[in-house]
Structure 1
Amino acid sequence: MDLRQAVGQRIMAGFPGTEIDETFAALVRTHKIGNVILFRRNIESREQLTRLCRELKELIRAETGAEPLIAIDQEGGVVTRLSDDMLNTPGAMALAAAGGDAPYRAGLLTARELRSCGVNFNLAPVLDVNSNPANPVIGVRSFGDDPERASELALAFMRGTLEGGVMACGKHFPGHGDTAVDSHLGLPLVEKGREELERCELPPFRKAIGAGIPAIMTSHVLFPRLEPERLPATMSRRLLTGLLREELGFGGVIISDCMEMDAIAKFYGTVEGAVASIAAGADIVCISHTAALAQETAERLLAGLEDGSLPKAEFDCSLERLARAKSNLSQADGLPGATEADAREVRQMLERSLTLLYGPMPELGERPFFVGCGPVRASLVSSHVRETPAFPDYMAQALGGYALVTSDDPEEGEIAKAVQAAAESSCIVLGTCNAHLKPGQLALMEALGALGKPMAVAALRNPYDLLNLPQGAAGIAAWEYTVRGLEVLAPLLSRKRQFTGVMPLVHSVF
């Protein structure tokens, strides 16, 4: 393997469409890029994805002589990339609420679906402990706020993934659960020392390493009490080599989160950050969107090898880790994907996950009023809203009554209009989406609660909205604002089905 091919193994790149474009093909031919990340933009159907993966493997094998990693963020729930004709499981916190073997089965079914199309690397599970209710980017992507329980459930998902023949990746080391800034948009900071991290953030990573997780993704988060140079974990040799490799004993693949996220691109520069991440100990840097940045990164890494600023011995060790990981990949592409029975099982997982707090669910009566915002993409990592109807409109059509759709952060005039509209209702059902981070939604909840009518609040993403329930209102954790989420919620609102979910958050006072 020559130096250019060696450099290409250390980069994972993406491209914009549902077919390989000439820009990406040239990137592979010229710079020997050896790994690919896929997003929703790349996938329109099972058949198309299968064809795309086959063509990617043919191209990369021919140009690099090595098997590519074809990666995807298929966590389930709010972070899904697969098309609607494929299997999309609930997200981590919903799986935790569903109980039983749901996390293991979700990992297994997801892996089988991915492998059937040729995807061999799932960037999941999330190992972050969501200890901060104000976290704008993790939330329901986490298995919970208790390190022991979150570890147990995440490792069950990991076991299912590996048994399904797909490489798994724990994220985001050393923890993204106690941040109040989305690293897609800014640079988060966690002011915890080692002792505090050992109590909360690090246990899931320790357990995952002990259980043989093959890859770990880094976080673009500052930990100034561990890394005094104002470098995020992704760029910190103290954290990647010192803590993760040497102290925790991780011998698998370290992959960066996307280097085009603002936490890196805005504060350090994508290319500079990528080179620093490789020097810090990452095996792969992920440049998800822009071919020119992947090209420049490849050129800078090649120059570093040639001038000795990147030690050749370390580079070779990383290549050996990647070769081992790729040698373990299943070659059984084209196996059957999800069956109708699998789809029913996934639907039942979501049905089991919906959780009632402070019940009982009130009767809707003859004139229920459904109110709340339309679907919102809560963070850049979340899936794009896929023609999901607004909660109020959907429920009024399905269950009768009338509806009012508000903005996601309503102002005083909108709130007054909603209160006036609710005056003649038999029951108020409010749908929220991250209301705990939206003062207008909280004000709307309070104003409607002051009417003293029978009321229920459905939290359609993070359940922390329910910490602000008006007295006497029922609270529902519904986990995801999707068409299928609304479909399984409707019969629970009408009391035709019973709630069975168990709240997986143990450190929040529900």
Structure 2
Amino acid sequence: MTGCATGVLAGCSGGPVSLGQAVRPSSQAPQPTPAGSPVRSPAVSLTPSPASGTSADTGSGWDPAAALAGMSLEEKVGQLFVMVVFGSRADSVHKENRARYGVATPAEAVRKYRPGGVILFPWAGNVSGARQVADLTTGLREASGTPLLIGVDQENGVVSRLAPIITKLPGSMAIGATGDPANARDAARVTGEELKDLGIGLDFAPVADVNINPRNPVIGPRAYGADPKRVASMVGAAVDGFHKAGVASVAKHFPGHGDTTVDSHTGLPVINHSMSTWRKVDAPPFRAAIAHGVDAVMSAHVVMPKLDPSGDPATLSHRILTGLLRDELGFDGVITTDALDMAGVRKKYGDAEVAVRAVLAGADLLLMPPNLDTAYGAVLKAVKSGRISEERLDQSVTRILRLKQKRGMAGPIRTDPGALRSAEHLKVARRVSTAPGDR
């Protein structure tokens, strides 16, 4: 879950980890360019706003509606994807970029696809030092024709993509055990401030799952606990902390991944919660996240037959993503899938169909498809044929662009890698690590 896990737990998106397990570098042969050859058209014109250096900086000089109007169909489809690039610099030549994307460098991959975002991973060679990460994110933004969402799975604890370059903080279970939501808020603020110093604008956190199954192989200590009310209070506070830092947050994994004995990286979990149980156990943390203005919600690759009898995982379920998340809970932010390279979402349909069905279900961002050309081409074809309406596509792109504007991704972004692990941040880490609780 990128909010994902790779090898070990990822916050996938890889996990995006979400829950997702990312596909490791392979010897895959170069793929053809996507149908419609993304975006050879001129980049969308931007009018950056002055950097304010505050969490209120929204890049107000840049108009998402105008940007949308200036995009080609191919550019709009590109905005739906969050991709992995390989290498430590934007101009790094890496064989995996050639194998997957037919280009040599991260910058070339971004220019080719014009994705909505990029997610960073150590296993992709993206994380070796603070200055290196800051230079990489700067180079990726410079390569993009539109503001670029740069994200990472930094949940702290077992899913910590940026360890050891940022301040070490306890994982969610340890913080939840303190019983004090202020600890969740402060930990998220510290993490968010350091991500922002590295040029990263989105964290695939917090985990909003209620871990009621002690045999859960993929959530466990990544959750704030087993009590829905406590988890909800912690999740809401964490969202506040990320926003105080000026970083976008993602609540995951909807509609809830806490009662499984199967890892969705390797299989398809089935959770038999009734609707009433879901509303009492799984929904409260997501309701809290939405009430606190969470920017995005990540779907889970889990089947909940009593919520949707189709047998499709939530990521592909219109009843769950649109019926429950949009209509019942009232969420109008960005819905992102968990990593699409995970086995849980690939059991029933091919990789092309998975991407299309996720959009039809209500997803806005498609995280880490196993073959970007295949997924991109399938979505583009579906829009051209009318299976996905242009109105539906514009809804997703508008949500994505508004998120970027709201969290300051449309204006100049200053990095300050020397500010990491400050005395104040280390003090917070010591305090929340030693806070009393029911551990």
Please give the range of the TM-score, normalised by the shorter of the 2 chains. Answer: 0.7 to 0.9
Query: Normalized per residue, which structure has more strand?
Result: 1
CA distance in structure 1 between the aligned counterparts of 2:305 and 2:76, rounded to whole angstroms = 33
1:48-447 to structure 2, matched below 5 A, reads: 48-61=132-145, 66-100=146-180, 101-287=182-368, 290=370, 293-330=371-408, 331=411, 332-335=413-416, 336-352=419-435
State whether residues 129 and 175 of structure 1, in contact with CA within 8 Å, keep that contact through their aligned partners in structure 2: yes
Q: CA deviation at 1:150?
A: 0.6
TM-score of the pair, normalised by structure 1: 0.66
Cross-structure match for 2:119? 37
1:19-74 Cα deviation digits (max 9, x unpaired): 3442644443333223101122220110110001001111113xxxx211111110
Q: Does 1:19 align with 2:99?
A: no
Q: Does 1:46 align with 2:46?
A: no
CA distance in structure 2 between the aligned counterparts of 1:265 and 1:144, rounded to whole angstroms = 29
Cross-structure match for 1:502? 438
Structure 2: segments with no counterpart, 5+ residues: 1-70, 95-103
State whether residues 82 and 88 of structure 1, in contact with CA within 8 Å, keep that contact through their aligned partners in structure 2: no
State whether residues 168 and 214 of structure 1, in contact with CA within 8 Å, keep that contact through their aligned partners in structure 2: yes
- 1:284–1:50 distance in 2 versus 1, CA, 3 Å: same
Instruction: Indicate the structure whose relative CO is greater, using CA pairs within 8 Å and at least 6 residues apart.
Output: 2
The SS at the match of 2:156 is: coil
CA distance in structure 2 between the aligned counterparts of 1:85 and 1:256, rounded to whole angstroms = 28
Q: Does 1:8 align with 2:78?
A: yes
CA distance in structure 2 between the aligned counterparts of 1:231 and 1:273, rounded to whole angstroms = 10
The SS at the match of 1:131 is: coil
Q: CA deviation at 1:247?
A: 1.7
State whether residues 136 and 182 of structure 1, in contact with CA within 8 Å, keep that contact through their aligned partners in structure 2: yes
Q: CA deviation at 1:84?
A: 1.3
The SS at the match of 2:298 is: strand
Structure 1: segments with no counterpart, 5+ residues: 353-499, 504-510
Cross-structure match for 2:24? none
The SS at the match of 1:201 is: helix
State whether residues 44 and 83 of structure 1, in contact with CA within 8 Å, keep that contact through their aligned partners in structure 2: no
Equivalent position amino acid for 1:3 in 2: L
CA distance in structure 1 between the aligned counterparts of 2:385 and 2:106, rounded to whole angstroms = 27
1:393-430 Cα deviation digits (max 9, x unpaired): xxxxxxxxxxxxxxxxxxxxxxxxxxxxxxxxxxxxxx
- Answer with 1 or 2: which has the greater Rg: 1
Q: CA deviation at 1:99?
A: 4.5
State whether residues 45 and 86 of structure 1, in contact with CA within 8 Å, keep that contact through their aligned partners in structure 2: no
- 1:235–1:308 distance in 2 versus 1, CA, 3 Å: same
Question: What is the aligned residue count?
Answer: 349
CA distance in structure 1 between the aligned counterparts of 2:210 and 2:111, rounded to whole angstroms = 41
1:192-216 Cα deviation digits (max 9, x unpaired): 1211101100111122212211110
CA distance in structure 2 between the aligned counterparts of 1:55 and 1:25, rounded to whole angstroms = 7
The SS at the match of 2:77 is: helix
CA distance in structure 2 between the aligned counterparts of 1:76 and 1:216, rounded to whole angstroms = 18
Equivalent position amino acid for 1:261 in 2: M
State whether residues 127 and 151 of structure 1, in contact with CA within 8 Å, keep that contact through their aligned partners in structure 2: yes
State whether residues 117 and 150 of structure 2, in contact with CA within 8 Å, keep that contact through their aligned partners in structure 1: yes
CA distance in structure 1 between the aligned counterparts of 2:105 and 2:270, rounded to whole angstroms = 36
1:151-196 Cα deviation digits (max 9, x unpaired): 0011111100011010001000000001110101110000112111
1:304-338 Cα deviation digits (max 9, x unpaired): 11111111111111111111111112354324433
Equivalent position amino acid for 2:174 in 1: A
Equivalent position amino acid for 2:153 in 1: D
1:414-493 to structure 2, matched below 5 A, reads: none
- 1:27–1:271 distance in 2 versus 1, CA, 3 Å: farther
Equivalent position amino acid for 1:38 in 2: L
CA distance in structure 1 between the aligned counterparts of 2:432 and 2:81, rounded to whole angstroms = 36
State whether residues 173 and 233 of structure 1, in contact with CA within 8 Å, keep that contact through their aligned partners in structure 2: yes
Aligned-residue sequence identity (percent) comes to: 38
Equivalent position amino acid for 1:4 in 2: E
The SS at the match of 1:251 is: coil
CA distance in structure 2 between the aligned counterparts of 1:265 and 1:141, rounded to whole angstroms = 24
CA distance in structure 2 between the aligned counterparts of 1:164 and 1:341, rounded to whole angstroms = 14
> Please, which moves more after superposition, 274-283 or 84-93?
84-93
1:227-257 Cα deviation digits (max 9, x unpaired): 1111000001111111111121110000000
The SS at the match of 2:337 is: strand
Q: CA deviation at 1:268?
A: 2.8
CA distance in structure 1 between the aligned counterparts of 2:222 and 2:211, rounded to whole angstroms = 9
1:469-496 Cα deviation digits (max 9, x unpaired): xxxxxxxxxxxxxxxxxxxxxxxxxxxx
CA distance in structure 1 between the aligned counterparts of 2:106 and 2:138, rounded to whole angstroms = 15
CA distance in structure 1 between the aligned counterparts of 2:347 and 2:318, rounded to whole angstroms = 21
TM-score of the pair, normalised by structure 2: 0.76
CA distance in structure 1 between the aligned counterparts of 2:201 and 2:335, rounded to whole angstroms = 16
